[in-house]
Amino acid sequence: MRILRWLLLPISLLYACITWLRNRLYDHSLLKSRSFQLPVVVIGNLAVGGTGKSPMTEHILRIVKDTFQVAVLSRGYGRRTKGFRYVETNSLATEVGDEPLQIKRKFPNTTVAVSENRCYGIDKLQAQHDAILLDDAYQHRQLKPSFSILLFDYASMLQPMLSLPTGNFRDSLHESKRAQIIVITKCPSNIPEQVKEDIKTRLAKYSAATVFFSRIAYQTIINGQGATLTTEELANKSVLLLTGIANPKPLDAFIRPLAEHVYPLVYSDHHDFSAVDIKHIQEKLQSIQATNKIILTTEKDYQRLPADFCASQPIFYIPIQQEIVHQEGDTFEKLIKEAFSRA
């Protein structure tokens, strides 16, 4: 697969040229972008998936939800519907997408909506809200946000950034100039100071954004009925680790030292679990030769699993949060509150 991607390098060069031209047309107003009177805050990335946009959306909501009437607007990736829809706690992931559904269930008093046309979605929401938070719209240049937060996976900063299809990047690093905040996500516990400075220096060539570093903070394991599972209890269990996310390796690495045995079952990101898949999952669980066994999945994957399956199986999920590191959380919160205060 790696060799094939390198063979596609000429296509990557063509893709990079097309995206560069498109961005310059917007920069010089030859293609039009629309702005709004209320604060419109965008979270996004330059790469394809896996940088932690949904945990960042939730982190920002925790900061602003008690001060501002904020609506979250998403494309609703993976849904089978079209157009503008409000997300309810009893919606299905196939109707609204797994990530918007997860956000609505965690923040039931917050308006969450999906629309592939972001400007139309803002038109529908702006009269009843103080601000709009978009969870994946950095490349949506028809919209001109008042504030942009750009995310980079830590590992991606340590290697060449190549355009699709050879690499994973939709835009070049040059496009980071539009961001006001850049967050390096999924950082290890101890980042060497020199690596941290090298990353900041690399970004400073393209962007004046304030740079923060964050890590994944795994929360208490829980099931659909609210029962929790401690790490001490996990130590005596065999775990079928079910994932359908962009990069399951960090979760696998986190769980392995905690459980007696771990059996990974990996699907593609946003995988739509079919009846055949559910039967396969049940068979895999039954094949584990242990009496004390569970299925453990991510919170995002849990949204897409059938409710009757979750009710009948020993299935738990593990929520995650973004945590700004190096004692810079207060500075981050201050900048976020200022962003949402802008008229």
pLDDT by residue (tens digit) across 144-153?
A: 999 999 999 9
Going across the sheet that includes 293-298, the strands are 228-229, 221-222, 315-318, 293-298, 238-243, 261-266
pLDDT for res 1: 65
Other C-beta atoms closer than 10 Å to the C-beta of 23 total: 19
Portion of the chain with pLDDT greater than 70, in percent: 99
pLDDT exceeds 90 at position 5: no
Mean pLDDT of the chain: 95
Arithmetic mean of pLDDT, 61-80 = 96
CA–CA separation, 34 vs 298, rounded Å? 36
Q: What letter represents residue 53's amino acid?
A: K
Going across the sheet that includes 40-45, the strands are 85-86, 111-114, 70-74, 131-134, 40-45, 147-153, 181-185, 210-218, 320-324
pLDDT for res 250: 92
Q: Give CA 104 to chain center in angstroms.
A: 15
Name which of 126, 92, 106, 98 is nearest 59 in CA terms: 106
Arithmetic mean of pLDDT, 331-341 = 97
Arithmetic mean of pLDDT, 257-271 = 96
Which two three-digit tokens encode residue 343?
């008229």
pLDDT exceeds 80 at position 343: no
pLDDT exceeds 70 at position 212: yes
Q: How far is CA 227 from CA 66, 89, 177, 224, 237, in A?
A: 27, 19, 45, 7, 16
pLDDT digit string (tens) for 93-128?
Answer: 999 999 999 999 999 999 999 999 999 999 999 999
CA–CA separation, 5 vs 167, rounded Å? 8
When pLDDT is cut at 50, 70 and 90, the band that residue 235 belongs to is very high
pLDDT for res 7: 85
SS3 53: helix
Lowest mean pLDDT across 37-41, 46-50, 141-145, 319-323: 46-50
Arithmetic mean of pLDDT, 282-303 = 97
pLDDT for res 86: 98
pLDDT exceeds 80 at position 15: yes
